[in-house]
Copies of this chain bind each other. A is one copy, B any other.
Amino acid sequence: MPGKSANHDGFPNSNLERRQDSLSIKRRNLSVEDYVQGILTQDKTILARAITLIESNSQKHLDFAQEVIKQILPKTGNAIRVGISGVPGAGKSTFIEKFGLYLLSLGHKVAVLAIDPTSSVTKGSILGDKTRMELLSREQDCFIRPSPSSGSLGGVTRKTRESILLCEAFGFDVILVETVGVGQNEVTVRDMVDFFLLLQIAGAGDELQGIKKGVIEISDAIVVNKADGDNVSRAKLAQGEYSTALHYLAPSTPGWHSRAFTCSALTGEGLEDVWKIIMKFKEITNNNGCFAKRRNNQIISWVNSMIKEYLISSFYQNKNVKAQMPEIQKNLLSGDITPTNAVDYLLKLYNH
């Protein structure tokens, strides 16, 4: 049983033992109880299988997974959830590897969940490189899981949120949710984490031109990476520009003043400060009540967004609606029908 191979702090004490567990577990189907026990006794193979279950799109697996989630729910919520985003090339992998190793050195247990809702189309940058974070992935107290993204953004959201819960029940106390900085991803991630960190690099002067609307505004900190060697002064300049931009905007988190920093994932310089900032953030938001309030709001808004997604997708997937939509849009743009006519007609098709 997984529980037997746990050492004093609850983590399996050798790769060999874990491998033996994995082999015996893979041979049989697991019950809800097996999953729950496996996770609570920190069996990484079972954690990985539970996440696979969550990621399944079959209704049977969904019901089963929900039962698992329900049972582990009382053990969740104890980690700090940190979103990390940045454009491709910002050095996210190296940053997370070094930052993760630093956190492990402080005695933390770190889970990295990488979400890339675009990967099904673009073969995204997160899953592309299987060898990234090699050092971190070998560590005992670390778990790295890329989230494949078949299905809609809403599906990704549910899967990642539930994966966070599983990792927390397992005992990880720092959850890093990584996403590539394209489009809607950051906002999605912002809504499932406590702290949102935007990773940047010094560019050609106009640092902020290329940033997607709204991303700076949702950041609790901007970290300019690659502040090393010849690049230090450019990184400092970029930091200044980002600080100015942050200063201009309403704070992402009430009572917290978002600022810009520099770091070098290569040399490790600045990583300590990033963690200090996150801890400071946790302290302040715990004291002013924002931490708990945001988490509660996130749960409610998660439910509302799932409902919204269901309602809208059930409308647009409706076969009558789908069949007539092109014609209706054509008539709409040619001015043959009014927008309100179009709505009435479509809703009649749907409610038929």
Contacts and interface: CB of A to CB of B under 8 A. Distances in A.
Interface string A26-41: 0000000000000000
Given A213-B214, A346-B307, A339 B296 contact: no
A279 interface: no
Contact of A248 (B245, B302, B310, B329): B245
A266 interface: no
A23 interface: no
Given A69-B338, A217-B214, A338-B66, A312 B310 contact: no
A238 to B, nearest CB: 12
Interface string A318-352: 00000000000100110101111111001100000
Nearest to A344: B66
A209 B250 contact: yes
Contacts of A66: 338, 340-341
Contacts of A229: none
A161 interface: yes
A135 interface: no
A303 B332 contact: yes
A310 B347 contact: yes
B341 A250 contact: no
A343 B311 contact: no
A315 B307 contact: yes
A340 B249 contact: no
B214 A340 contact: no
A13 to B, nearest CB: 31
A343 B303 contact: yes
Given A217-B213, A315-B311, A208 B248 contact: yes
Contact of A70 (B212, B249, B341): B341
A213 B249 contact: yes
A62 interface: yes
A255 to B, nearest CB: 15
A343 B217 CA distance: 30
Given A212-B250, A217-B214, A249-B208, A339 B299 contact: yes
A245 B213 CA distance: 12
B70 A347 contact: no
Contacts of A290: none
Nearest to A75: B335
A241 B248 CA distance: 9
Contacts of A73: 335, 338
Interface string A289-313: 0000000100110110011101110
Given A213-B217, A245-B248, A306-B340, 7 more contacts: A69-B338, A69-B340, A158-B340, A208-B249, A209-B247, A214-B217, A248-B248
Top 9 closest pairs, chain A to chain B, by CB: A208-B248, A311-B311, A306-B343, A73-B335, A69-B338, A303-B339, A302-B339, A303-B342, A213-B217
